[in-house]
Amino acid sequence: VLALNGKTREVGEKILASNGKEVDFASALKSCEEAGGTLATPMSEEENKAVLGVVKQYNRYAYLGIKEGETSGQFDYINGTPLNYTNWQKNEPNGKGTEKCVEMYTDGSWSNKKCNLYRLTICEF
């Protein structure tokens, strides 16, 4: 369970929270689901800025709730719906099918990466 201690942020209908832990993608997703939420998934510039606020608070790159689908280079929300908002860094996504997870940099831009790296867990509820 996430110990919140004032570490939550509200954006629209969502509440964002982080436990400050860095784990691989599967573990991050599992801990969010066990807490009753999912990995933070920005669906607008406003939500991206809110997630960025948590990223900056910890000064760590964080996984987002976005994964590469069956088609190489096509990314979807983890529930399978197509992205309706993106903030890819220049020349991203790349990796040609080997980098299936997405992280947020400390400037708010996104990059696709391998899923076994340790990144900050940020959940949304």
pLDDT tens across 32-66, in order?
999 999 999 999 999 999 999 999 999 999 999 99
Q: What are the start-end ranges of the E strands in the chain?
A: 8-11, 14-23, 38-39, 62-68, 75-77, 101-104, 110-113, 119-124
pTM: 0.91
pLDDT at residue 9, as a whole number: 83
Summary mean pLDDT of the chain: 92
Query: Region 13-29: what's the mean pLDDT?
Result: 95
Angle at 61 between CA 96 and CA 14, to 5 degrees: 100
Whether 4 has a pLDDT exceeding 80, the answer reads no
**Arithmetic mean of pLDDT, 70-82:** 90
pLDDT at position 17 over 50: yes
Task: Compute the distance between CA of residue 119 and CA of residue 123 in angstroms, rounded to an integer.
Answer: 12
Residue 71, pLDDT score: 85
Predicted local confidence at residue 115, as pLDDT: 97
Give domain limits for the chain.
7-124
How far is the CA of 43 from the CAs of 20, 46, 108, in angstroms? 22, 8, 13
- Which whole number is the average pLDDT over 75-96? 92
The whole-number pLDDT of residue 24 equals 98
What percent of the chain has pLDDT above 90? 79
Q: What is the CATH number of domain 7-124?
A: 3.10.100.10
Residue pair 39/65 in contact by the 8 Å Cβ criterion: yes
